Amino acid sequence: MVLFKGAATALVTPFRNGKVDYESLGRLIDWQIESGIDGLVICGTTGEASTLSDEEHLEVVRFAVKRTEEACGKSARRIPVLAGAGSNDTAHALKLAKALEQEGIDGLLVVTPYYNKCTDAGLLRHYTHLADRLEKPIILYSVPGRTGVNIGPAVVKELCGHPNIAGIKEASGNIAQAVEIARYCSEDFALYSGNDDSIVPLLSVGGSGVISVLSNVMPQAASRMVHAYLSGDTEAAKGLQLELKPLIDALFCEVNPIPVKQALAFLGRMEAEYRLPLCPASFSSCKRIREALMGAGLL
């Protein structure tokens, strides 16, 4: 049931002249797979799903699945593709998720309802309603700093036994909460870090990996960090976590994905283009991002 172990990249969605830049997106997918990433999450928070129309959302996922299959075919190494989904409207979330299932995905990353600040009872009913009606497994996604809604341990305890709920991306930033949630991990329910600055801490309590922003620019290092820990080389994993902390911090110096898109632009992999209300990084942030990339040996 666990969809992957290791690092999955929460991939950016490149834009050019207001439209999705499929040429750059294809190159990014190829590079991620060549670099040994363990999975791809398409149209999540980092993929700016909130400013994509449903038609664009489906088209981007369709393209990513096809490109991943082609790239994996060359290397004979299959990696899972997860599609971001979710809505503040349960009916719309279900409609979108069902459409995404038809595109050949392996699973769904389903963010909590936002703006409608539902109770724990509402969260339970929301996720159960989706999981009961979808064919692909879903990963819960808790990021209260963006949605205003937290998936607490009590909710996880109720949902982790559902046969179609495969895990949680825990991005609350609350280590104590993550440790409590880790009590419910099993072979059928995985805990993934949603914060690059605490990958190793979550692995230490039974996590299976990370859904990462960092791996947009350093896929090999992010995957190596997780697999080093899972294979018992905790010192190597700890070393990478500490070594990459300045870059991780720089990638979050403004709201995600503004900095990571700018970083990829500095690396020559895409244009730093956004859709409003997101806008280009400030001069001081660009300076910090460039210096962090240089410190990591990328420039």
Catalytic center residues:
141, 169
User: Do 99 and 133 contact (CB within 8 A), yes or no?
Assistant: no
Query: Angle of helix 90-101 relative to helix 54-75, nearest 10 degrees?
Result: 30
Q: For 51, which DSSP code?
A: G
User: Do 48 and 257 contact (CB within 8 A), yes or no?
Assistant: yes
Three-point CA angle 246, 248, 253, nearest 5°: 90
User: Do 32 and 11 contact (CB within 8 A), yes or no?
Assistant: yes
Distance CA 121, CA 2 (A): 25
Give SS3 for 185.
Answer: coil
Give SS3 for 176.
Answer: helix
Q: Where are the beta strands (DSSP E) in the chain?
A: 6-10, 15-16, 19-20, 39-42, 81-85, 107-111, 138-142, 165-170, 190-193, 209-212
